[in-house]
A = this chain, B = another copy of it.
């Protein structure tokens, strides 16, 4: 388990791709909005204040990467979180970020 070391170039690509999926504020907010349960595209677009087409595109990316799931019911598509582990990831990064900013602040002093 874990990563091979040294990391072969073939592994670095897909890994980076995965991180890239999370490197966009709108996508992160989408995931967060889905945290409480399934939502429709228009619904999410309303909450985020951006166009429906834009949201649809981001959701398609997330779905392609397996982070969200899609369920069609009549007119609407209901999207939901497919991989809860992303939230642990975000928490981890948040902590690391906080540490960094704190040491940054300490350095200024």
A interface residues, Cβ below 8 angstroms from B: 1-3, 5-7, 9, 11-20, 22-29, 32-33, 35, 65-66, 83, 85-97, 99-100, 103-104
In the assembled complex, which residues on chain B have CB atoms less than 8 Å from the CB atom of A17?
23
4 more A-B residue pairs beyond the given contacts A3-B90, A18-B96, A83-B100, with a C-beta to C-beta distance below 8 A: A12-B29, A15-B28, A15-B97, A16-B23
In the assembled complex, which residues on chain B have CB atoms less than 8 Å from the CB atom of A13?
25
Assembly stoichiometry (copies): 2
Q: Are B93 and A92 in contact (CB under 8 A)?
A: no
Q: Are B28 and A12 in contact (CB under 8 A)?
A: yes
CB distance from A48 to the nearest CB of B (A): 9
Q: Are B3 and A94 in contact (CB under 8 A)?
A: yes
In the assembled complex, which residues on chain B have CB atoms less than 8 Å from the CB atom of A104?
66
Q: Are A28 and B5 in contact (CB under 8 A)?
A: no
